[in-house]
C-alpha cells in the first residue's frame, strides 16, 4: 500500500549511455534528464503505467548526451517545462535544438525551486561539463537525492543531501575493469579524474559519508556498460558497507538500475 500523499520515484534508465528518472507527487510529475530518444522515454514511462503527456517538468543536470539527447523532443512534443542553469542551456543548445520560450526556465545552481507540492534543491558537482548540477526532491518530510557524474563529493554536496530517505548514487566503473579495458589512456584519465566519475569504491565511500538513519533505499546508477557489471557494483558496495557495520538488507536496501529496464515505482 502506497501512502496516500507519498512521493514516488522510478529510475527509468541509468547507465553511461542514457539516463532518465521519474518523480511524482499527487500534484506534480517530474523527469530528471532525458538522455535517449523521446520514444524510448515514453516506452519506459508506459512500462511503469505512466505517460509523458502528464509530465509537468524536466530538470536537466548537464549537457552530456547521455542526459540531454531527448530534452528538445520532450519540450516540443509534450509541452514539458524544461529547467537547467544558464551555462547548461548554452552548452546543450546545439544538441537539443529549439525549445519554445514558454517552456524554457532557468534553475540556478544552489537554489531551491518549489513546484506544486514539491521542493527541489540543486547542487553543483565536480564534472567536466559546463555547470553540472544534481537535484534533491523534498515532499512531506521525505527526501530523494540524485548524485551521479561527479569526480568527487564536496563537503557542500554531502551537507545538502545528508540522511535522505533514498538515493540514486553513481557507481560508474570498476577500477580494474577500467584499467585493463580498451579505452584510450586519455579517456581513462578523464574518467578517473576529479571531474570524471565515481567508481564502485567511491560510490560506497560517498554513501557512507552522507546516508543516515532515515535512509531506506540506495540505487546504484550510471554504470558504465564497458567498465562495470551490475553484480560487481552491487557486491563491491554491499561488502564495503558491511565491513563498516552498515545494516545492508536490514536497515536499508541496495538496489540495481538498468540501462534499458525501468525500476518499479516506489514510495520514498
Ligand atoms: Zn552521464
Ligand atoms: Zn556527464
pLDDT tens-place string over residues 136-173: 999 999 999 999 999 999 999 999 999 999 999 999 99
Percent of the chain past pLDDT 70, that is, above it, reads: 99
CA atoms of 264 and 8, how far apart (whole Å): 10
CA atoms of 77 and 81, how far apart (whole Å): 11
pLDDT range class, residue 116, cuts 50, 70, 90:
confident
Q: Is the pLDDT of residue 223 over 80?
A: yes
pLDDT per position as a tens digit, 2-23: 667 899 999 999 999 999 999 9
pLDDT range class, residue 112, cuts 50, 70, 90:
very high
Question: What residue has cell string 524544461?
Answer: 82
Ligand 1 mean position, distance from CA 81 (Å): 21
pLDDT per position as a tens digit, 32-52: 999 999 999 999 999 999 999
Q: What is the pLDDT of residue 33?
A: 98
| Other beta carbons within 10 Å of 264 | 12
Q: What is the pLDDT of residue 4?
A: 75
Q: What is the pLDDT of residue 1?
A: 56
Q: How far apart are the first and last CA of the chain?
A: 12
Q: Is the pLDDT of residue 268 over 90?
A: yes
Average pLDDT over residues 217-232: 97
CA atoms of 265 and 11, how far apart (whole Å): 8
Ligand 2 mean position, distance from CA 247 (Å): 31
Ligand 1 mean position, distance from CA 8 (Å): 23
Cell numbers describing residue 68? 540531454
Are the C-beta atoms of residues 156 and 181 closer than 8 Å to each other?
A: no
Ligand 2 mean position, distance from CA 62 (Å): 7
DSSP, residue by residue, 118-178: EEEEEEE---SSSS-EEEEEEETTEEEEEE-S-SS--HHHHHHTTT-SEEEEE--B-HHHH
Considering just the CA atoms, what is the radius of gyration of the chain in Å?
17
C-alpha dihedral, 95 to 97 to 99 to 105, nearest 10°: 30
Q: What is the pLDDT of residue 261?
A: 98
Q: What is the pTM of this model?
A: 0.97
Ligand 1 mean position, distance from CA 64 (Å): 6
Q: What is the pLDDT of residue 227?
A: 96
174 to 61, 152, 237: CA distances (angstroms): 24, 16, 11
Q: What is the CATH number of domain 8-267?
A: 3.60.15.10
Residues with CB under 5 A from ligand 1 (ion): 66, 149
Q: What is the pLDDT of residue 81?
A: 98
**Nearest ligand to the C-alpha atom of residue 190:** 2
Average pLDDT over residues 56-73: 98
CA atoms of 164 and 157, how far apart (whole Å): 12
**Nearest ligand to the C-alpha atom of residue 67:** 1
**Nearest ligand to the C-alpha atom of residue 196:** 2
pLDDT per position as a tens digit, 247-263: 999 999 999 999 999 99
Q: What is the pLDDT of residue 208?
A: 98
**Nearest ligand to the C-alpha atom of residue 20:** 1
Ligand 1 mean position, distance from CA 3 (Å): 32
C-alpha dihedral, 102 to 41 to 17 to 10, nearest 10°: 100
Ligand 2 mean position, distance from CA 16 (Å): 8
Ligand 2 mean position, distance from CA 233 (Å): 19
Q: Which residues contact 120 (CB under 8 A, 6 or more apart)?
A: 30, 59, 107, 112, 113, 114, 135, 136, 137, 138
Ligand 2 mean position, distance from CA 163 (Å): 25
**Nearest ligand to the C-alpha atom of residue 259:** 1
Amino acid at each position: 500500500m502506497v501512502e496516500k500523499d507519498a512521493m514516488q520515484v522510478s529510475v527509468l534508465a541509468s547507465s553511461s549511455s542514457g539516463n532518465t528518472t521519474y518523480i511524482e507527487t499527487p500534484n506534480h510529475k517530474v523527469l530528471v534528464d532525458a538522455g535517449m530518444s523521446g520514444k524510448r522515454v515514453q516506452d519506459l514511462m508506459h512500462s511503469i503505467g505512466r505517460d509523458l503527456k502528464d509530465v509537468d517538468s524536466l530538470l536537466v543536470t548537464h549537457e552530456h548526451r547521455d542526459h540531454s539527447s531527448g530534452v528538445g523532443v520532450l519540450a516540443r512534443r509534450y509541452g514539458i517545462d524544461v529547467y537547467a542553469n544558464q551555462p547548461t542551456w548554452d552548452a546543450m543548445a546545439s544538441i537539443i535544438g529549439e525549445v519554445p520560450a514558454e517552456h524554457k526556465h532557468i534553475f540556478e545552481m544552489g537554489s531551491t525551486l518549489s513546484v506544486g507540492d514539491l521542493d527541489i534543491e540543486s547542487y553543483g558537482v565536480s564534472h567536466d561539463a559546463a555547470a553540472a548540477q544534481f537535484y534533491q526532491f523534498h515532499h512531506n518530510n521525505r527526501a530523494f537525492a540524485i548524485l551521479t557524474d561527479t569526480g568527487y563529493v564536496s563537503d557542500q554536496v554531502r551537507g545538502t543531501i545528508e540522511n535522505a530517505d533514498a538515493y540514486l548514487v553513481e557507481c560508474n566503473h570498476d577500477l580494474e575493469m577500467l584499467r585493463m579495458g580498451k579505452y584510450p589512456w586519455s579517456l581513462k584519465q578523464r574518467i578517473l579524474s576529479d571531474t570524471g566519475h565515481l567508481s564502485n569504491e567511491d560510490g560506497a565511500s560517498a554513501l557512507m559519508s552522507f546516508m543516515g538513519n532515515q535512509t531506506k533505499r540506495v540505487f546504484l546508477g550510471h554504470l558504465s556498460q564497458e567498465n562495470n557489471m551490475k553484480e560487481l557494483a552491487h557486491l563491491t558496495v554491499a561488502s564495503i558497507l558491511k565491513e563498516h557495520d552498515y545494516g545492508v538488507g536490514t536497515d536499508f536496501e541496495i538496489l540495481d538500475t538498468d540501462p534499458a529496464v525501468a525500476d518499479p515505482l516506489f514510495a520514498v
